[in-house]
Structure 1
Amino acid sequence: MTLLWIALAGVLLPALWLLVLPLRTARRWQAEQLAFENEDAAAEQNVAIFERRLSALTTAYDEGKVNQRQFEDDKLALERSLLEDTAATRRRPLKSHQAGRLAVPLVMLALVAVSVIWYQHQGAEDDLILWSIGQDVRADPDGSRAMYIERLEAQALQQPGNPNLWRTLFPLYRETEQMDSAVNALERLIALEGRLPPLLAQLAQLRFFMAERELTDEVQALTDEVLEVDPRQPTVLGILGIHAFDQGDYEMAVDRWRRAVANVENPEMAASLREGIQTAQARLGQSTEPAAEETTGRGVRVNVTLDPDLASRIDADDKVFIIARDLAGERPPLAVVQGLASELPMTVELDDRAAMMDDAQISQVREVRLMVRVSPSGQATPQPGDLWGDVDGVEVGPLDAQEATEVIINRVFE
């Protein structure tokens, strides 16, 4: 924490120096302004101009070029002009260079106080303490997971309202098989963050395994709450698949696990779900490999083009993902082909050779949704700024007997 306050001081000192700087130069600026005003001859010049114009007007009057009324009107106009010019150049007396000095220290104190108070309310001091604890435990020769948990538990007494503390403790309790403590940490996190589907799904998973893989009323209520908000939540679908498998309902298990795989991001969890699907299919007496006569030559031909208005937003080496998915969006991608933006426009064939997994292939469905995405980052998951286009309801059939489906990349992913 000492380093933190040193850093804050390092940020504040330049600001305080800028506040003091006008005081250091006030005497010089006052002297220069006073000298300028003393040397300013604008008023004398205005009077001289007035006198020349009045003399010319008097001469014209004496020579009879203007009458009495004109002379008086013009003279009045000259006098008014002189008054206006001299009024504009009149200056208030200069204040002392020491005027306002007391306000500067007050502003400096206010700046420091407001900065400290703001950081205490909006800063990440508590999170920095958690980070420091982790660093200390890693650097300690006797550091262990138990030591880490002990120190975090001590912090829980000082900052019980910090969600990051409970977010850190929860997996530690789970990994050390302190299930009751893990549930308590997760419930504290839910109380702070709200009943978010991912958090409720993890709580349902904990309760499910603590109940020896029984779908208790509490677990059922949690899964129902999650699915009402997010019907594709993979953790909950995985739980329901396990329960169906244990009950001997292998078709239901395969269905739940396929929907989970389509939405899961963790590679290890996806691999485990695929193994479960294969086991359930084996129990059903189904082959996990597609029949050759059913898959040969079936797919979709796609012609991909780019909207000219978006051409300036991509580079030649940006990746292009051409994806076919089932219309319900419950399975993993059925076929994926990659290319480069420099290859646009391009025509590709999506068939079982482009499948990501054996139990999710394009030949197994009648219609697909085609989606094409240009990814400057090269990541498989959509990112803000990606360009994309899609077409729904494309019929799957023999590749040698169909025309290419046009897909135009014409939108920006927000």
Structure 2
Amino acid sequence: MIEFWLSAGLLLLAALAFLLIPLLRGRNAQAEEDRTALNVTLYQERVQELEGEHQAGILSAAQLQAGRDDAARELLTDTAGAEVGGKVGVLGRKVPLTAALLMPLLGYGLYLHWGAIDDVERARTFAEQPQSIEEMTARLEASVQDNPESAEGWYFLGRTYMAQERAGEAAKAFERAVGIAGREPELLGQWAQALYFAGSKQWTEQLQALTDEALKADPAEATSLGLLGIAAYESERFAEAIGFWERLVAVLPEQDPSRQAILGGIARAREQLDPQAATQAPPAATSARGLTIQVDLAAALKDQVQPSDSVFIFARATSGPPMPLAVKRLTVADLPAEVNLSDSDAMMPQLKLSGFAQVQLVARISRSGNATAGEWVGRSQPLASSVTEPQQLTIDTADGPAQ
């Protein structure tokens, strides 16, 4: 904000210079004209004085002519180098001065009417990477308060509420987005999903109407297909659940992190239809068992920490959202320790360890109990989320800005 007003002030000074510099130059020219006029008057008076002395017989004709020549030379010397310009009138001075005084007020008023300083400030705020999902939520809440007609703002706020399992608030946000942007299939699907979880997973006529409308407009609307599959599975209509989820898998990109979870749901629904198929099914993916991590503290740091300091061990996607996928909390007194991170430790239902091919392991010591910033940290190289061998992680580096 300070940079903006400094830039605006410099531009204003430049504009005022175009108005005031010519006016100041005009004043200099006027002063030069006044001085020249005075010299001419003095010349005329000197000539009259010489002529009077000649008539009185004091000066001869030759002396009169010599005096006139001396006075003319003095006049030319005094006026040498003087600029010749038109006289600056009263109107010529008043108009630039009035414009110079009104320009700052006029510019400020026009910017208040047509400017977008709030949008600039919001853009700068959102350009900074949020350190936590709570900070992201606060930003989005402030954004929709400043601009309540932003369908995009309400949509992302609803998604963030869902990530925090605040389904009731998410439903209201999606409803506002639908009211502003219209009944877009994706918005209808998100609204129905939020209502479903806010209503303790009870299927209603409103939910059916919303999903029907969304799929009529877009038969591949992913949220509606997934929600209908969940509702059918919860109602033990396993064949219907399989049908909806197979339609969903068919439209999802190959690299979508949710494909594995949906395929797992299809497999479970098939087991419910044919229990004997479970004995013939391939073993579960190793990622479901999670990652085993052996965490230790470098010997050089043991005198610089306290037994009660918090230790956060988490895994995050190497290419994906910055929030941890799975996390556990210990204390320095527990080290060395062996922990297991799996989907059951997920911070958000939509972001599970098994949904990402590669992850990075991080162990952070924080005396304040802040998982995003601390005193000491240890990080692993990127590794496959399905790896079965225990991973060694040593806390040995001074912690910098949260990353």
Fold match (TM-score > 0.5) = no
The TM tier, using the shorter chain, reads: 0.3 to 0.5
TM-score (norm 1): 0.42
TM-score (norm 2): 0.43
